[in-house]
Structure 1
Amino acid sequence: MSLFLTLMLQADTAVKAVTDAAKDSQESISLFYLLKEGGVLMIPLFICSIILVYVFAERWMAIRKASEMDPTFMSRIREQITGGNIPAAKSLARSTSGPVARMIEKGVSRIGRPVDQIEKSMESTGKLEVYKLEKNLSILSTLAGIAPMFGFLGTIAGMIILFFNIQHQGFSLEHIAGGIYTKMVTSAVGLIIGLLSYVAYNYLNAQINKNVNKMEAASVEFLDILQEPAK
């Protein structure tokens, strides 16, 4: 009976020790600690995160600026063209910023030529403007692909080192568990960066599509203006 009680007390002591150790480890874990334990591959992931923030901020501001347009612009262009004042219409388009104004300026400068030539010149200008809006977007799509790969590579490298240490230092459940969760930090960070890059890429593409729709609407309206009789 005394032997049974002794074993029960030892088991209870062991459980308390494990519980206390777990509590201590939970209290000591911080975000900085986890990121530091991710290993050397956290460096390229950190660089990827900086590139993500920079490219998104730069493209968002550029696209937002391009989307700003005077709501009376096309009505003023209509007024000048139907009134026969082509130089004033061209000057108005030149003094207005934005892809729509630059495309309309190209169309005004081609007035007098066949409509299909005017349409083609405006279409070419529109494509160039869209290309400017899409500048560096491919970087975000690339980050969405390579960031998770860096994360998985960090985890695999950590597991290789972990099993190497087991082979040479012996098996320890505590060291194995700690090594696994710290090395999986790279996978988590890589997936987060990849997800944010994917969302940012699609969001900016949606904003570009809105600008493309504005350009197409302005192009159709401009061609309709050319069909109206002069005053």
Structure 2
Amino acid sequence: MLIIYGAVALAQDATTGTVRGNVVDTTTAQTPISGVRVVVVSTDGTENETTTDDVGEYTKSGLPPGRYLLSIYKDGYGDRTGKPVTIVTGGDHYVPLKMTKKDTIVTFFAKFGVVFWPLLLCSVAALTFIIERLFTFLRSRSKLGTEQFMASITDSLRSDNIMEAVSTCEEAGGPLANVLKAGLLRYSQAQIEEQEITKEEVQESIQEAGLLEIPELERNIPVISTVAVISPLFGLLGTVMGMINAFTTIALEGTGDPQALAGGISQALLTTAGGLTIAIPCLIFSQVFESWVNKFVLEIEQVSTEIVNQLILGQSA
């Protein structure tokens, strides 16, 4: 019976092939990985599966001749799929494979090295001040809308009711209303004291109020712009330090393991990617905030000039 089974096995080996190999991790030690699911898929979609043993070895026999794709899977490691292999009759094909451990949050950020901490501070500062500026600009919007607000002010001035216009400013809120309110109160005070008031005096009151409102809108925008500038520099610093370490490894050990060298370089480039990830949103938001400030300033200048002219012309009439 043993002779018969042996003959059958030899006959099968003569018409089929075998693929075998080992699976290790991508660290310098190249530690064998046990329990890896190895799937051998033929061109017609037929799957043949095996598992690595305690020393990371796998073997799959009885494969008909043809082209196959090897794929390996294991929890905690990145999948590797589509490794081609051609099986020939009676062939014994050795295919070594490597797997990389999936990064956790801790291991991923550990790759950044010492520049992780300044990049973390930059990201926290950027996020904090961007959110703070967004809330500030949202609060600065008039509750009535610019057109409705201006229509109410104009109606009050036409009826020579300055205090009603002041009440409208208090109701609307925002930088524009606060600036106009200062000019209206200055004009109203002159009326109560029965004093002559010039256009320049009203404009001076409006400008003084603007000196209080505009800096509040511009506050912390320079910080965001600064983060946009320095975060790529920290990222570049980390890349340079990583490249120095990589070339030091080459000088000491040569280029015998290109995969390890490529892994070191890719980790070094992570810091540049991190710096740019912080800098790009900071640059965008700083430009948006500055454009909003310029829009507020232009709106204040145009509306205040219109209101001042209306006050002085109404007084002259």
TM-score range, shorter chain: 0.7 to 0.9
From 160, 180, 185, the counterpart of 1:104: 180
1:76 equivalent in structure 2 = 152
Work out whether 1:218 is the aligned partner of 2:303.
yes
Would the aligned equivalents of 2:232 and 2:272 in 1 still touch at CA under 8 Å? yes
Give the number of aligned pairs: 214
After TM superposition, give the deviation of residue 151 of structure 1 in Å. Answer: 0.3
Matches within 5 A, 1:98-177: 98-111=174-187, 112=190, 113-171=197-255, 172-177=257-262
Letter in 1 for 2:213: E
Alignment partners' CA distance in 2, 1:188 and 1:131: 34
Larger radius of gyration: 2
Structure 2: stretches of 5+ with no match in the other structure: 1-84, 86-91, 191-196
Residues 5-31 of structure 1: per-residue CA shift (max 9 Å, x gap): xxxxxxx999943xx32xx23xx3447
Alignment partners' CA distance in 1, 2:313 and 2:233: 58
After TM superposition, give the deviation of residue 208 of structure 1 in Å. Answer: 2.1
Would the aligned equivalents of 2:129 and 2:220 in 1 still touch at CA under 8 Å? yes
After TM superposition, give the deviation of residue 148 of structure 1 in Å. Answer: 0.4
1:5 equivalent in structure 2 = none
Structure with greater proportional helix content: 1
Alignment partners' CA distance in 2, 1:92 and 1:180: 63
Would the aligned equivalents of 2:214 and 2:293 in 1 still touch at CA under 8 Å? yes
Work out whether 1:61 is the aligned partner of 2:146.
no
Alignment partners' CA distance in 2, 1:81 and 1:165: 79
Would the aligned equivalents of 1:104 and 1:219 in 2 still touch at CA under 8 Å? yes
SS at match of 1:70: coil
Letter in 2 for 1:158: G
In structure 2, the CA distance between the partners of 1:187 and 1:88, relative to structure 1 (3 Å rule), is: same
* RMSD of equivalent CA atoms: 2.6
In structure 2, the CA distance between the partners of 1:84 and 1:173, relative to structure 1 (3 Å rule), is: same
Alignment partners' CA distance in 2, 1:228 and 1:83: 13
Structure with greater proportional strand content: 2
> Higher relative CO (CA 8 A, sep ≥ 6), structure 1 or 2?
1
Letter in 1 for 2:161: N
After TM superposition, give the deviation of residue 102 of structure 1 in Å. Answer: 0.8
From 174, 191, 199, the counterpart of 2:276: 191
